[in-house]
Amino acid sequence: MAINDEKARWSYLAQEARTGRLYLDSAVAAECRDVCNRQIDLYTKLRENLKQIVNVTGLGNFSCADELAKMLGAKAIGGDGDVDAALKEHLEVITLIRDTIQVSVEMYEAQDAANAAEQDKLLD
C-alpha cells in the first residue's frame, strides 16, 4: 500500500478516535504506543546516521569512482528514492499511528475514571 494511503487511513482513524468512535483495549493500546515510540526513536537515529554516509570515499582515484560515490551518497540523502525521504515518510505514518493510539488510551482512561466516579456516587 502506498504511503499516502497509509497517511489517509491513519488520519481518518485519528479523527475517529478523537470523536470517540474508535476504542482500543487500553493494555493493548499502551503496548502498541510504546512499540511505536521505539520505532520512532530507531528511525530518527537511522536518519541521523545517514548523515555520516553521504560522503562516500575509498572507491579509488577514477572519475567513475567519483560519480559512483556521488550516486551512493545521493541514495542516502537527497537523491531520487533516497533512504532519508523513505524514513521520513514512515516516521510520519508511525507518528500518526502512535497519536491515534494515544487518543484512544486517553479516552479509555477518561471513561474509566468517569465510570469509577459514578460508581463511587452510587456507593455513598
- pLDDT tens string, the chain, 124 residues long: the values are 688 899 999 999 988 888 888 878 888 888 999 999 999 999 999 999 999 988 888 888 888 988 998 998 999 999 999 999 999 999 999 999 999 998 888 887 888 788 888 888 888 7
**DSSP per residue, 53-102:** GSS---S-SSHHHHHHHHHHHHHHTTSTT-HHHHHHHHHHHHHHHHHHHH
Residue whose C-alpha cell is 481518518: 12
Structural contact between residues 100 and 15, judged by C-beta atoms closer than 8 angstroms: no
Distance CA 24, CA 28 (A): 7
